[in-house]
Amino acid sequence: MNKKKSKDSLLIEEQGREIGLLNKKIAVLINVADELEEEKDDNYNKSKGYFKKLINEYEKTEARFHESEERFRTLYKNARIGMPINNLEGNFIEVNPWFLQMIGYTESELFKLHISDITHADDRGNSKKLMTKLLAGKIESFDINKRYISKNGSVLHCNTVVMPLRDTSGNIFLFAALVRDISQQIKNEQRIIQAIIETEEAERKRFSYDLHDGLGQKIAAANMYMNTLESIAKEQFDPEALEIFTTGKKLINEATKETRNISHNITPVGLEKDGLIETLRKIFENYMRINKGINFKLNAKNLKLHKGKELTLYRILQELVSNILKHSKAKNATFQFEEANDILRVMVCDDGVGFNVEEVRKKRTGLGLVSVEHRLYSINGKIDIQSGAGKGTKIEMVINKKTYLS
C-alpha cells in the first residue's frame, strides 16, 4: 500500500509511533540512571525497578497494538465490501482489494484520481453537501446511495457510508467509507416495478376494450335509435314529451363522448400511431376546450423518441396533467422537452398555488407524486421538484435515453 506521512498518516500508525517513542524515552531514563552509579541508593533501586516495570507494561501494550493492527489489516484486505480512505482534499490514500475489483482500477491508477473523478456527475452535488456538513460537525457520518463510474465506463449503484477519522486532538484528518454494490438490487427492484406497471397496463387495456366494445357500443346503438325516432317525435310528441325526448337524446350523446374519452385515456390508442408529442398536443387542445381557465403550452421541436417505449413517460405526464387540473388552480402550464446527447430532459412548470414538497413526501399524501417517482425509477429516471405556497411548481425529469428510450 502507498502511505503518506504527517496529516495523511493513519490513526493507528500515529498511535503506534507514540507508544514506540514513549518506550524510547523510558529506556533513555534508565540508561542515564545506570550511569549515575555513585548516587545508587534504595530510592534509585526503587526508581529503576519502577521504570523497568513501566517498560514491560508498554511492551505488552505495544504487542497488543500490533496484534490489533494485524487483525485490522487482515480484515481490511479480505473484506467483501469496498473500503476506500480519502484525505480532506478527496484524494485516495488507501483502498482495499474489493474496492479495486468493484471499480476496475489498479491501486496506482486510483491514487492519481480524486473521489469526484469516479462519482457520477448527477451525484457530485449531493455528496459535496453532505461532506461539508460532516466537516462542519453538523452530522457525525452519512449514508447515501450514489453512483460510481468504473474504469470501463459502466455505472455502479452503491450504498456508501462515510465516517471521519480523527487524530488524538479530535480533528478530522481522513475519511473512511464502506461501499456496497447494490446494482443488482436496483435492477431487481426496477424489474418488479416494471412488472407491476406492465400488469397494470394490461388490465387498463382490457378494461378499455370492454368499455369501448361493450358499454360503448350499446350506448352508440341507443343513440342511433334515438336519432331514428327524432323525426317521429317532432311530428307526434306534444311539447313536453318532445322536451323530455330531446334531453334524453342529449344525455345519451354526451355519454357516448364520455365513454370514448374514458376509453382513450385508459389506453391511448393514438400513442402508437402519432407518438408522444402529437398525442400530448391533442390532449392539451381537448382539455383547453373543456376548461377555458387554463392554457397548456408544449415546447418540443425535433424530438425523436422510441415509439415502443413511450407509454411509461406518457403515464407520468398524464399524472402531472391530472395534478395540475385538480390541485394547482393554475392559469398557465408549460411542458418542455430537451435532448442533449443521450439525455432527455422534461420540464413541467405551472403558475398555480404550489405546495410544500417535503410535507407531501413525509406524509405520503400525494399518491400521484409517488406513482410518478415509481415509474421514473423503473426507467432509471430522476426527478427534481421545486414548489412552495403561492410560488407555482417546477418539475424537472432527467432520463438517460441509452437505458430507456434508445
Query: What local confidence, expressed as pLDDT, does residue 147 receive?
Result: 93
Q: Is the distance from CB of 217 to CB of 260 less than 8 angstroms?
A: no
Task: Give which of 183, 177, 92 is closest to 143, Cα–Cα.
Answer: 177
Kind of pairing between the strands at 332-340 and 295-299: parallel
CATH number of 79-181: 3.30.450.20
Question: Helix 311-323 to helix 276-290 angle, to the nearest 10 degrees?
Answer: 20
278 Cβ neighbours under 8 A, 6+ residues apart: 270
Q: Which of 153, 122, 117 is nearest to 343 (CA)?
A: 122
- Residues 296 and 284 sit within 8 Å (Cβ to Cβ): yes
| Residue 208 backbone phi and psi in degrees, to 5 | -60, -45
Q: What is the pLDDT of residue 406?
A: 39
b/e burial code for range 368-391 (CB count within 10 A of at least 16 → b):
bbeebbebbbbbbbebebebeeee
pLDDT of residue 63: 62
The whole-chain average pLDDT of the chain stands at 78
Residues of the chain where predicted confidence (pLDDT) is lower than 50: 1-9, 37-38, 405-406
Does the domain at residues 274-406 carry the CATH identifier 3.30.565.10?
yes
Cα 212 from chain centroid (whole Å): 39
pTM: 0.53
- Residue-level pLDDT at 6: 41
Q: Could you tell me which of 400, 402, 390, 198 has the C-alpha nearest to residue 312?
A: 198
Starting at the earlier edge strand, list the strands of the sheet with 295-299.
295-299, 332-340, 343-350, 393-400, 381-387
pLDDT at 4: 47
Q: What is the pLDDT of residues 285-330, one digit of tens each?
A: 877 877 767 899 998 876 666 655 678 888 889 889 888 988 889 9
Cell numbers representing residue 145 in the block:
446511495
